[in-house]
Amino acid sequence: MTSMKLNRRTFSLMTGLGAGQLALQSLLAGSATDGRVVPHHPPTAKSVIMLFMSGGPSQVDTFDPKPELEKLAGKDVPESLAARVPKIKRAGLKNLLASPWQFSQYGECGMPVSTLLPETAKHVDKLCLIRSMSHRNPVHGPAECVALTGSGIGNRPSLGAWAIYGLGSETEQLPAFITMNLHTDGMQNPQASGWGPGFLPSRFQSTVVAPDKGIENARMPSGVSNERRQSELEALKLLNQNFYEATQVDELEARIRSYEMAFQMQTTGPELFELSGETAETQKLYAMDRDESKQVGRACLLARRMVQRGVRFVQIRVGGWDAHGNIKGNHERLAARTDAPIAGLLADLERTGLLDSTLVVWGGEFGRTPTMEGRANGRDHSPAAYSMWLAGGGVRAGHIVGETDAIGYTVLDRPVGPLDLHATILHTLGIDSEKLTFDHHGLKETPLGVSGGSVVAEVLG
């Protein structure tokens, strides 16, 4: 932080620009210092909604049809294919399992989607599907860190943190990065690194909110009036101004501004979560009228409201896709929770015109094996090949990237790693991941880390 402070101070002394203006920028996580010069190119998206399907949805049961599986059901993975399967734990090679769902082609593009996701299927003409996602970590926790931070260790910044580090906030009245964790029951604990700041300053971390509660402490305690709060803040400003003037530490001015922001957030925060202004038709669009989907529906509607109000990065994590035992029962339950709300979100973004500037991303930390796990009609974890989709934000709609083998176990063409996807997402926001740097103990860190990644050009329109 000191180098940043030095820059700012030197800058303000040299130019005579008020330190306050710069302090404000730092408060909003948006000043162009520390190697951040953005946008690097014209952005196609202003905001990102990440629909993170934790637990690992099965690719061969959703977006990657494999008729061969029906023929081979009950048999072992043919040797020619088995040789390609990475030698990692859990990569079972026995007893292939046919998908319990049928696939049909949808839309003008004719993208096949299984009958598991009939509502999302109606929007295929908006989707750019990547069937060739791939990495090597088969365990939920580390894999979730890989998917959202690019490394399994969990000590690097999350994608969202990098995004707001690069771009700053569009709004003063809400946090720039908001995360909602839904259905976190089950074995896959949410990984805080997935919305954490890593080595970036903590103001770049996500604010975690419960969709039904809102931003913590945004509501004043009962009995405190607006008028009283205003008086309090006036008195506080006097105290803080005295301390700032005597010491002239930038941070102290940022503190003064932070109270003004907080005051606004006391209004905008609760207002954001107040859905009574949304029509019954809209709420129905998000399937909020059904028990199984109302939680995800509410979160998706909130995501649209957040994006409308200038939130940069919204992350919705829906846990539970870990279909070890019974792929049919599990995925049907999860599809009932998510399919209609997500379709509703896509429809709503489109009709409100937000889809053009909002990138929606769907997928989990990995996919699942085409083989049966044990004897339980479920599928095990498989990071070797899995599907994700992007929509809006200038991506190439109705397009499919990559190809997997005849049973959907490994990638045949155009492997895409999580960091490639991150580079692509940041690219739509106008960020060149190689140029976005942060000085971490003297090491110039970028969102791509040591292992690197590059933009998947085929995804871009």
Partner 1 sequence: MLGRFPAFVLALAILVCANGLVQSEEWKADGFVNTRYTISGTGDRNNPLWRQLDAPFDGDELFVRMRLRYDAETLDTPVDGDGEFVVLWLDSVEGTPGSTHSAGVPNIGIHTLENENRFMIRYQSSGQKFGPVLEGDREYLVVGRIWKSKPGPDEPFDKLDLWVDPANDAENSPVASVSDSKALKIVSWIGFSTGRKTEFGDRIEVHDIATAATWHEILKLPPPAEPVEPVVPPPVVKTVAFVDDVFPLLKKHCFECHAGDDPDSGVRLDVLDEMVNQTSPRDAAASHLYQLLANGEMPPEEKQPLTKPELEVIAAWINEGMEWDETLLPTPVPQSTHWAFQPVIPPEVPQVQNTDWIRTPVDAFIAAKHEEAGLVPNPAADTATLNRRLSLDMLGLPPEQGTDPLHVDELLKNPAYGERWGRHWLDVARWAESNGHQHNRERKYAWPYRDWVINAFNSGMPFDQFLRDQIAGDVVRPFSGDHLVATGFLAAARYSGNELDKEIQRNDILSDVTNTTASAFLGLTMECAQCHTHKFDPISIRDYYKFQAFFANGQPGNAALELNPEVANAVSERWAIFDSVHARMERVKQKQGVPGPIYITPKSVVGGMKADEKAQFNALEKQIESVPQAWCFVAPEGDTEQVTVTPHDMRWPLPRHSAALSDAQTFLLIRGDVKSKGPAVTPDWPLVLGGEQSDGANTRLQLAEWMTSRENPLTARVWVNRIWQWHFGTGLVETSSDFGTQGTPPTHPELLDFLASELMQRNWDTDHIHRLILNSATYRQSNRFSLANAKIDPDNRLLWRWTPRRLEAEAIRDSILQVSGQLDRQMGGVSVAHDSPRRSVYLKQQRERLPDQQNLFDGTNAASSCSRRRTSTNALQPLWLLNDEFAQEAAGQLAQRSSNVVEAFQTALLRLPTELELEQVSQLADEHGMQSACLVILNSSEFLYLP
> What part of residues 253-292 is at the interface with partner 1 (CB under 8 A)?
254-255, 258-259, 261-262, 265-266
Instruction: Considering only residues 24 through 83, tell me which ones interact with partner 1, judged by CB under 8 A.
Output: 26-27, 29
Helices 294-308, 250-273: axis angle to 10 degrees equals 130
**Can residue 184 be called a binding residue for partner 1 (CB under 8 A)?**
no
Phi, psi of 246 (to 5 degrees): -70, -35
Amino acid at 10: T
The CA-CA-CA angle for residues 28, 33, 34, to 5°, reads 115
- Nearest approach in angstroms of CB 364 to partner 1 is 14
Please, what's the b/e burial string for 117-139 (b: 16 or more CB within 10 A of its CB; e: otherwise)? bebbbebbebbbbbbbbbbebbb
Rank residues 32 and 153 by Cβ distance to partner 1 and give the closer one. Answer: 153
Stretch that binds partner 1, among 112-120, 190-198, 321-329, 346-354 (CB under 8 A): 190-198
Figure out which of the listed residues 47, 151, 181, 193 binds partner 1, where binding follows CB under 8 A. Answer: 193
Rank residues 63 and 366 by Cβ distance to partner 1 and give the closer one. Answer: 366
The conformation of residue 290, written as its DSSP 8-state character, comes to S
> For the window 420-449, what string marks contact with partner 1 as x by the rule CB under 8 A?
---------------------xxx------
Rounded to whole angstroms, the Cα distance separating 45 from 296 reads: 23
How is residue 284 written in tokens?
């129905």
Figure out which of the listed residues 97, 159, 215, 419 binds partner 1, where binding follows CB under 8 A. Answer: 215
Figure out which of the listed residues 83, 185, 246, 280 binds partner 1, where binding follows CB under 8 A. Answer: 246
Rank residues 47 and 371 by Cβ distance to partner 1 and give the closer one. Answer: 371
**Can residue 239 be called a binding residue for partner 1 (CB under 8 A)?**
yes
Figure out which of the listed residues 41, 94, 213, 351 binds partner 1, where binding follows CB under 8 A. Answer: 94
Rounded to whole angstroms, the Cα distance separating 348 from 308 reads: 12
Rank residues 94 and 351 by Cβ distance to partner 1 and give the closer one. Answer: 94
Rounded to whole angstroms, the Cα distance separating 237 from 218 reads: 20
Instruction: Considering only residues 337 through 376, tell me which ones interact with partner 1, judged by CB under 8 A.
Output: 374-375
Figure out which of the listed residues 73, 109, 220, 460 binds partner 1, where binding follows CB under 8 A. Answer: 220
Instruction: Considering only residues 142 through 161, tell me which ones interact with partner 1, judged by CB under 8 A.
Output: 142, 152-155
Figure out which of the listed residues 43, 57, 92, 297 binds partner 1, where binding follows CB under 8 A. Answer: 92
**Can residue 185 be called a binding residue for partner 1 (CB under 8 A)?**
no
- Nearest approach in angstroms of CB 198 to partner 1 is 9
> For the window 120-139, what string marks contact with partner 1 as x by the rule CB under 8 A?
-----------------xxx
Rounded to whole angstroms, the Cα distance separating 142 from 197 reads: 16
Contact (Cβ atoms closer than 8 angstroms) between residue 151 and residue 414: no
> Is 235 buried (19+), middle (13-18) or exposed (0-12) by CB count in 10 A?
exposed
Q: For residue 193, give Cα distances in angstroms to 53, 142, 364.
A: 16, 10, 15
Rank residues 141 and 394 by Cβ distance to partner 1 and give the closer one. Answer: 141
- Nearest approach in angstroms of CB 161 to partner 1 is 12
Rank residues 376 and 457 by Cβ distance to partner 1 and give the closer one. Answer: 376
Cβ neighbour number for residue 116 with a 10 Å cutoff = 25
Rounded to whole angstroms, the Cα distance separating 279 from 423 reads: 37
How is residue 36 written in tokens?
């951040």
Q: How many residues bind partner 1 (CB under 8 A)?
A: 80
Rounded to whole angstroms, the Cα distance separating 44 from 58 reads: 30
Figure out which of the listed residues 33, 207, 282, 377 binds partner 1, where binding follows CB under 8 A. Answer: 207
Rank residues 110 and 243 by Cβ distance to partner 1 and give the closer one. Answer: 243
Figure out which of the listed residues 184, 226, 248, 352 binds partner 1, where binding follows CB under 8 A. Answer: 248
Label each residue of 63-84 as H, E or C.
CCCCCHHHHHCCCCCCHHHHCC
How is residue 150 written in tokens?
């690019």
How is residue 319 written in tokens?
């846990």
